[in-house]
Structure 1
Amino acid sequence: MTEDVLNWIKKEKLMTEGDTVIVGLSGGADSVALLLVLLELRQRIGYTLLAIHVEHGIRGEESRKDAAFVEELCRQKNIPCRICPVNVPDYAATEGIGVEEAARILRYECYQKAAEELKQSGAGRVSIALAHHANDNAETVLFQMARGSGVHGMCGMHPKRVLGDDILIVRPLLCVSRGQIEEYLKKCGQEYRTDGTNLDINYSRNRIRHHILPELSVINEQAVSHINQSALLLQQAVSYMEQETKKAVQTCCIGGGGAYVILENEWKQYPEIIRQEIVHEVLGKTAGSRKDLGMVHVQDVCALMEKQTGREITLPYQMTASRIYEGVRLCRRGTHKAGTGTWQEKGGCETEGAAGASQSFYEVTADDFAKLEAGETVSITLPDANVSLRLLLFSGKVDEIPKNQYTKWLNYDRIECGLQFRRRASGDYLTVDDAGHKKKLKSYFIDEKIPQIKREHIWLLAQQSHVLWVIGGRISAVCKIKEDTKKILEVRIDGGNYRED
């Protein structure tokens, strides 16, 4: 088994000479075997070993005995050991999550904290070695299939994952089975601790471990190996899909800061599987995490594309998806007037100019709107101009509206969300009259005889694909001041070529 693990480590480049390797040591069979194997290979590869035991505070005296066993084992093997006590039940109750998930989160926090401390003390690359093996991976694949996680979940565990700057999570035992591990420990004459909760079939993974996998192995004794092979093939396929999805997102998604729009026309140009991946990607961006976002949520958003404008669904992470004219808008509650507050250069959803070049944008944040409503002036610095925003009460006298080219009054009552300063993007339009008739921005540029070379450099004030103001040109009819307007958003732009005559 040791040679199998060595070949796996080399193949996947899990650790190299000079690394510090943190072993997550529970005291169970898997982690004890991992410690012994890595101890055997330490001189051959040239890394430093450190063991960390997380005492979960779940099983009382049994848990404390596990910690004592780990300390004694490490003393015998002359390996530095840290015991990290945590309170899983309290954390689970506070966060409203299951005990299993709480334990996992707190374990990873302990490992990462130790790795960061090592980095601060001058260590090179730090690899956090976890004892997951082929059976664990098969269980994960089946569990994710059962909960409907899609192809990403069915990829199972990856051999390594970047956790931070020169900090990796690695799984050296993914190449071996639980049977091989037990046989290895038997040959070594090494004892280990048994966690009674591993026998409790009220836990989903234990039910898979003790009931489902054994039945599959009756059907085919190589079931675990075959599931792992399938997961590896899926990892390769998903890696390719992710590359294609990232390209696609650039062409059919606009927004940022917790509010995005998937543009229907552009989105429908892609095959169904890429369309689903686009939605999954944008859901993750909006939520800030992909965890607990399954295929059911992806399919619900895809189905929304076929619904009438105005339909809305609720999603995890306090998200809503709304069918709008351009496609589907995703946002988290509380971000209807929120944004990034900073320039978006890469990452997130960038606007896409007609020439295909990614464009930066500034999205007015919730803090900005709060300042406006408190009577403050908000200043924004664009690359070639300065913008000031302020909120005014309207007197009802339409003749007071300024006629300046670079100062506009907009009907604040009609401004709802995602207000951005940006360049043009595919799907942009203006509302040209009170009846709601629309004109493509491209048509507006043609009608105004604006040269192609200038169109790429014109700033827009936009709300999703709806252009409220072509800066220096017309405003949308939706934002025009009416006699019943209550509040005015004054937008003034100055600097560079933006100066009043």
Structure 2
Amino acid sequence: MDISHSRFSLEIHASLSSILGNERGPGVLAVSGGADSVAMRRAFRELPWAGGISIAHFNHQLREKESDADAAFVNQLAGEQFCHHGTADVRAIATATGENLEAAARRLRYDFLAQVAKENNARWVATAHTADDQAETVLHRMIRGSGIRGLRGIAPARPLVEGVQLVRPMLGLTRADVLDYLRTTGQSWREDATNQDTAYTRNRIRHELLPLLKTFNPHLSEALGRLASQAQEVYAEVDQRIGELLSIVERPKAGSLVILSQPPLAGLPDHDLRELFHRVWEREGWPLGGMTRDHWQRAAAVAHGEMTATDMPDGISIRGTGRLIRVGPR
């Protein structure tokens, strides 16, 4: 085993240990058949990991026979381990729901992974996002005008469902590390041709923008990863403050409406108010896709008493009534 081979597996082991601590327990590996997830699956065969590991593959049915071939490849890769397979016609579902195709694929995939975790009493689900994925995500959000929240990029861990963590143990490894590892071990993988299609913004970032920016800084992926980590540290303080604020101003719900006390909010800075309303949206499960900075700013204006009401995308409204603010479906 050469040095790069050892480092790859040990990096994953150290990252997972840092996230999960000593209570590792059983887990689920999300394996698509692509290079990153295949490398993660291969590395786990070499790790001294306590607890059972399940393999899960979701077929999005976006590439017809190629998607089926991916599923067959992952099934073979699982070997003696049972591979949990899920499938859905993502394009048809996205059309029916009006969702962005990528958003629908992500939602259905994570719903499936959560189901597999629950069925196997798993405490965590691992996906194979790398430092390059992190760099692409940060750049994508910067281009769209994101603030500190968005600059956090891909979180190393977050709750998937109650009792299950979604973890990303490969954020410290680059795509070059992945390919070196696979070639060293002689492990094959599947290629998704749609990843080359620059009609998608993320693919343009991957194939055009990142290579250009790396002519200025060859270690750009690592630099953007540090930026994401620093943004996460800053945002953690904001998040705690907003959680405490919400516990003070929130009143019992009126049906589906969230009720907030207005006077304590009136003198707060806009950035705190934007974050507070964002927290409410996330908690209630209201759609965030159509929300822009202007929408959050209008919400802050109602909290300040500068506006009496405003309508938001997807049928949500904010109404100031005396000393209360009512937020919810119209």
* Structures share fold, TM-score greater than 0.5: yes
Q: Which of the numbers 34, 37, 47 marks the counterpart of 2:40?
A: 34
Structure with the largest fraction of strand: 1
What residue number does 2:115 align with? 113
Matches within 5 A, 1:22-421: 22-41=28-47, 44-75=48-79, 78-119=80-121, 125-256=122-253, 257-285=255-283, 288=286, 290=288, 292-304=290-302, 310=308, 312-326=309-323, 328-333=325-330
Paired residue secondary structure (1:297): helix
CA distance in structure 1 between the partners assigned to 2:51 and 2:281 by the alignment: 40
Which amino acid in 2 is paired with 1:37? A
**Compared CA separation, residues 144 and 255, structure 1 to 2 (3 A):** farther
Which amino acid in 2 is paired with 1:8? S
CA distance in structure 2 between the partners assigned to 1:142 and 1:170 by the alignment: 21
**Compared CA separation, residues 62 and 287, structure 1 to 2 (3 A):** closer
Which amino acid in 2 is paired with 1:60? E
The offset of 1:47, in angstroms, is 2.6
Given that residues 56 and 86 in structure 1 are in contact (C-alpha distance below 8 angstroms), is that contact kept between their aligned partners in structure 2? yes
**Compared CA separation, residues 290 and 332, structure 1 to 2 (3 A):** same
The offset of 1:163, in angstroms, is 2.3
Q: Deviations over 1:425-458 (max 9, x none)?
A: xxxxxxxxxxxxxxxxxxxxxxxxxxxxxxxxxx
The offset of 1:184, in angstroms, is 0.8
Structure of higher CA gyration radius: 1
CA distance in structure 2 between the partners assigned to 1:258 and 1:118 by the alignment: 34
Q: Which of the numbers 2, 13, 20 marks the counterpart of 1:13?
A: 20
What residue number does 2:4 align with? none
The offset of 1:117, in angstroms, is 1.4
**Compared CA separation, residues 255 and 149, structure 1 to 2 (3 A):** farther
**Compared CA separation, residues 258 and 301, structure 1 to 2 (3 A):** same
CA distance in structure 2 between the partners assigned to 1:99 and 1:308 by the alignment: 38
The offset of 1:198, in angstroms, is 0.6
The offset of 1:285, in angstroms, is 4.8
Paired residue secondary structure (1:65): helix
CA distance in structure 2 between the partners assigned to 1:22 and 1:283 by the alignment: 29
Alpha-carbon RMSD: 2.4
The offset of 1:49, in angstroms, is 2.1
Given that residues 21 and 128 in structure 1 are in contact (C-alpha distance below 8 angstroms), is that contact kept between their aligned partners in structure 2? yes
CA distance in structure 1 between the partners assigned to 2:52 and 2:75 by the alignment: 18
CA distance in structure 2 between the partners assigned to 1:45 and 1:13 by the alignment: 12
Paired residue secondary structure (1:52): strand
Q: Number of aligned pairs?
A: 322
Q: Deviations over 1:120-175 (max 9, x none)?
A: xxxxx432111111111122222223334432222111212222343221111111
**Compared CA separation, residues 14 and 155, structure 1 to 2 (3 A):** farther
**Compared CA separation, residues 83 and 331, structure 1 to 2 (3 A):** closer
**Compared CA separation, residues 249 and 307, structure 1 to 2 (3 A):** closer
The offset of 1:28, in angstroms, is 0.5
What residue number does 1:422 align with? none
Given that residues 74 and 81 in structure 1 are in contact (C-alpha distance below 8 angstroms), is that contact kept between their aligned partners in structure 2? yes
CA distance in structure 1 between the partners assigned to 2:62 and 2:275 by the alignment: 39
Given that residues 156 and 231 in structure 1 are in contact (C-alpha distance below 8 angstroms), is that contact kept between their aligned partners in structure 2? yes
CA distance in structure 2 between the partners assigned to 1:250 and 1:224 by the alignment: 38
The offset of 1:29, in angstroms, is 0.2
The offset of 1:73, in angstroms, is 2.1
**Compared CA separation, residues 286 and 6, structure 1 to 2 (3 A):** closer
Paired residue secondary structure (1:40): coil
The offset of 1:328, in angstroms, is 4.8
Paired residue secondary structure (2:189): coil
Structure 1 unaligned runs (5+)?
A: 120-124, 334-501
The offset of 1:289, in angstroms, is 5.7
The offset of 1:208, in angstroms, is 1.6
CA distance in structure 2 between the partners assigned to 1:15 and 1:138 by the alignment: 30
Q: Deviations over 1:17-65 (max 9, x none)?
A: 5x22211111100010010111111xx1223222111121111111111
Q: TM-score, normalised by structure 2?
A: 0.88
Runs of 4+, deviation exceeding 6 Å: none
Which amino acid in 1 is paired with 2:132? N
Paired residue secondary structure (1:97): coil
Paired residue secondary structure (2:214): helix
CA distance in structure 1 between the partners assigned to 2:87 and 2:246 by the alignment: 43
Structure 2 unaligned runs (5+)?
A: 1-7
CA distance in structure 1 between the partners assigned to 2:290 and 2:151 by the alignment: 14
Q: Percent identity?
A: 29
Q: Deviations over 1:272-302 (max 9, x none)?
A: 4323322322344566465654433211222
CA distance in structure 2 between the partners assigned to 1:138 and 1:309 by the alignment: 39
What residue number does 1:464 align with? none
Which amino acid in 2 is paired with 1:276? R
Q: TM-score, normalised by structure 1?
A: 0.59
Given that residues 287 and 317 in structure 1 are in contact (C-alpha distance below 8 angstroms), is that contact kept between their aligned partners in structure 2? no
Paired residue secondary structure (2:215): helix
CA distance in structure 1 between the partners assigned to 2:218 and 2:139 by the alignment: 16
Structure with the largest fraction of helix: 2
